[in-house]
Amino acid sequence: MKYPRQFAIALFGAFISAAAITSYADTTLLNVSYDPTREFYQEFNPVFIKHWKEKTNETLTINQSHGGSGKQARAVIDGQDADVVTLALAYDIDALAQRKLIPENWQTRFPQNSAPYTSTIVFLVRKGNPKQIKDWNDLVKPGIGVVTPNPKTSGGARWNYLAAWAYALQQPGGNEAKAKEFVGQLFGNVKVLDTGARGSTTSFVERGIGDVLLAWENEAYLAIKELGPDKFDIVTPSLSILAEPPISIIDKVVDKRGTRKVAQAYLEYLYSPTGQELAAKHYYRPRDEKVAAKYASRFGKVNLITVDKVFGGWGKAQKEHFSDGGVFDQIYEKRK
C-alpha cells in the first residue's frame, strides 16, 4: 500500500512542475511563416523587439513557426493562433480570407500588395555548371535531373511552375498548348518532388540528387552561403517571375488577444529602412528604392513577369493549374 501513495505524490509533483513550464507572461506575437524565411526572421525579430522596447517600453516575445506555405495556412485555419502570417503567396492568405479570419481586402491594407520584399526563381547548379544550364529551355533536355518541390504543397514550387509556363508562352510561336507540353517535359525530368522548398534544397545540396534545383533566389544564395561557394553556382534565367510573398495580420486572433497594435507595428517595420536592409541582407529583393539601389549588384538582372499580368491573378492560376484535376495533375498523370 505504501508504493501507490508515493507514486501518486510523484505524479502530482510532475503535474505541478509541468504546469510551471507552460505558464509565461509578457506580450507575445506568433508569426506563422513559410520555409525559407527562417534566417531572415531570426535576425529581424530581435531588432523589432528592441525597437518596440525603446518605443513603448513593453517587453515583447516573438515566436516563429515555419513550414510549407500551404501547410502553414492550413494550420492557421485549423486554429493555430497566429497574430501575423508571412506566407509564400497570396493564394494561401486568400484561403484565410475565405474562412473569414481576415477581410477580403487584406491585400490592400499594407503597401505594395502587402508584399514588403520580393523574390524570384533562379537555378542552382553544381559548380562550373557541368551540364551548361543557362535558361529554361535547357531544363527540358534529356538527361537533365531537375529538383523542385511539389506545386500541390509548396508555394515556391508554384512559382517555379508558373515561371516555366510563362517562359514557354513568351517564346516565338508560344501558346497554351506549347507551354503545357514544355512544362510537361520539364516535370518529366524531375527527380524528386519534396513537399517544401527546404526539403528540395536538402535533396539537391546534401543528398546530391539532380543537376539543377529550381529555387527561391534567397534560398539559393543561402545554400551557397551555408554550404560553400565552391560547390554551387547560381544561374539567373532570361525570364522569371516576380514572387511577392505577402503578409497579413490575422484579425480574428489579434482582436481576441489584444495584440493588433503591436502586430501592425511589426509588419509595418518590415517596410522601414531597417527591415528592408535586413531583407536585402538575406537576399530578398527590397521594395524601398534607396535600399534596392544600394544592393542592386547583389541580384542578377532578369526580366520579371507577374502572375497578375500573365495568369490573371492567383485565384485563376490556382484554379486552372493546381486544383484537383488541373493542368499540373494532367501533366503529372501523363508522366506516370
Interface residues toward other proteins, by CB under 8 A: 1, 4, 11, 14-15, 18, 21-22, 30, 35, 38-39, 63-67, 75, 77-81, 99, 198-199, 202, 223, 226-227
Question: Is residue 69 within 8 Å of residue 31, measured between CB atoms?
Answer: no
Question: Closest CB to other proteins among 28 and 264?
Answer: 28
Residue 100 CB, shortest distance to other proteins, in Å, is 11
- For residue 69, which amino acid is it? S
Question: Closest CB to other proteins among 77 and 144?
Answer: 77
User: Which residues, 6 or more positions from 59, have their beta carbon under 8 angstroms from its beta carbon?
Assistant: 26, 27, 49, 53
C-alpha cell at 154: 509548396
Residue 182 CB, shortest distance to other proteins, in Å, is 31
Question: Closest CB to other proteins among 39 and 277?
Answer: 39
Residue 75 CB, shortest distance to other proteins, in Å, is 6
Residue 2 CB, shortest distance to other proteins, in Å, is 10
Question: Closest CB to other proteins among 30 and 133?
Answer: 30
Question: Closest CB to other proteins among 193 and 317?
Answer: 193
User: Which residues, 6 or more positions from 86, have their beta carbon under 8 angstroms from its beta carbon?
Assistant: 31, 32, 33, 34, 37, 41, 245, 246, 247
Residue 199 CB, shortest distance to other proteins, in Å, is 8
Residue 21 CB, shortest distance to other proteins, in Å, is 5
C-alpha cell at 271: 517596410
Question: Closest CB to other proteins among 30 and 147?
Answer: 30
Maximum C-alpha span of the chain: 87
Identify the CA nearest to 165 among candidates 173, 177, 148, 150. 177
C-alpha–C-alpha distance, residues 314 and 236, integer Å: 24
Question: Is residue 210 within 8 Å of residue 126, measured between CB atoms?
Answer: no
Residue 222 CB, shortest distance to other proteins, in Å, is 8
Residue 130 CB, shortest distance to other proteins, in Å, is 24
Question: Closest CB to other proteins among 198 and 287?
Answer: 198
Question: Closest CB to other proteins among 38 and 191?
Answer: 38
Question: Closest CB to other proteins among 136 and 204?
Answer: 204
Residue 224 CB, shortest distance to other proteins, in Å, is 11
